[in-house]
Amino acid sequence: MPFAKDINELKKNQKALRIIELIANVVILLVVLAIVIRPTVVDILALRADKQEVEALAGKLSEKVTNLASAETAVDEFKSSVPLFTAALPLEPKQFDLLNQAQLVAEEQGLSVDQLTYKAGDSSIVEFTIVGKGKYGQIVFFINSLEEMPRLVQLKEVSIAQASEDLEENPTLTYTITGKGYYYTEEVSLISDPSEN
């Protein structure tokens, strides 16, 4: 019966081989799954990290858009104030414009302007003198109008004297006004409009 003994051992060995084969298949399957699934898991984790980075970047971009909108509003406000600023403090002396404005204001008040003179003061000042005739109320109104001109003006001296030996109730007076008109001397860089680019 050695033959039967060999068959029994073979059957036992086959059982052991099947168990070993089953274990080997499970191990191979686990290794294959690990090889196949691992990159997918790594990709999912990487995508999750990328998603967080994209969300953070989207938050920063949203903040920048808000900042750009407020900067655009500030630029628009600045641009609207530029004409007022340049009227008050021009980039050049523009002494003739200053004297013409003063003469027009005087003539609007019914004053005569007999003499208009100017001289360049320091690097940002035009000194001027206006001499003329008119009634007291007209002269006072003219002085107030000079101070309210768009151009930045400082009156240094105002003198009023009787023009003639007139003894009427509202005599004609001679006035002399000296003052300074200012202008901007620093280098100015204009802001370019981003929509022009």
Neighbours of 29 (CB within 10 A): 10
**Structural domain span for residue 18:** 1-88
Question: 3-7, 45-49, 162-166 — which one is most confidently predicted on average?
Answer: 45-49
Count structural domains, the chain.
2
DSSP secondary structure code for residue 194 in this structure: G
Q: What is the mean pLDDT of the chain?
A: 81
Do residues 140 and 77 make contact, with C-beta atoms less than 8 angstroms apart?
A: no
**Residue 114 pLDDT > 90:** yes
The predicted model gives 23-44 an average pLDDT of: 82
Encode pLDDT of 70-85 as tens digits: 988 887 787 777 777 7
Domain's final residue, options 31, 66, 88: 88
- Give the pLDDT of residue 157: 94
**Does residue 165 fall inside a structural domain?**
yes
- Give the pLDDT of residue 129: 93
Q: Which of 116, 93, 104, 86 has the alpha carbon at shortest distance from 145?
A: 104
**Does residue 190 fall inside a structural domain?**
no
CA distances from 8 to 5, 13, 15, 17 (A): 5, 8, 11, 14
Say if residue 105 is exposed, middle or buried (CB neighbours under 10 Å; 0-12, 13-18, 19+). Answer: buried
Do residues 127 and 119 make contact, with C-beta atoms less than 8 angstroms apart?
A: yes
**Does residue 81 fall inside a structural domain?**
yes
Tokens of 22: 């089953």
107 and 74 belong to one structural domain: no
Tokens of 74: 């500030």
Got the DSSP string for 96-160?
A: HHHHHHHHHHHHHTT-EEEEEEEEE-STTEEEEEEEEEE-HHHHHHHHHHHHTSSS-EEEEEEEE
Neighbours of 130 (CB within 10 A): 25
For the chain, what's the residue count? 197
Residue 143 has, within 13 A of its CA and on its CB side, a CA count of 18
Put simply, whether the predicted model's pTM sits higher than 0.75 gets the answer: no
83 and 27 belong to one structural domain: yes
**Does residue 113 fall inside a structural domain?**
yes
Which CATH number does the domain housing residue 169 bear? 3.30.70.60
20 phi-psi bin (left φ>0, alpha ψ -120 to 50, beta other) = alpha
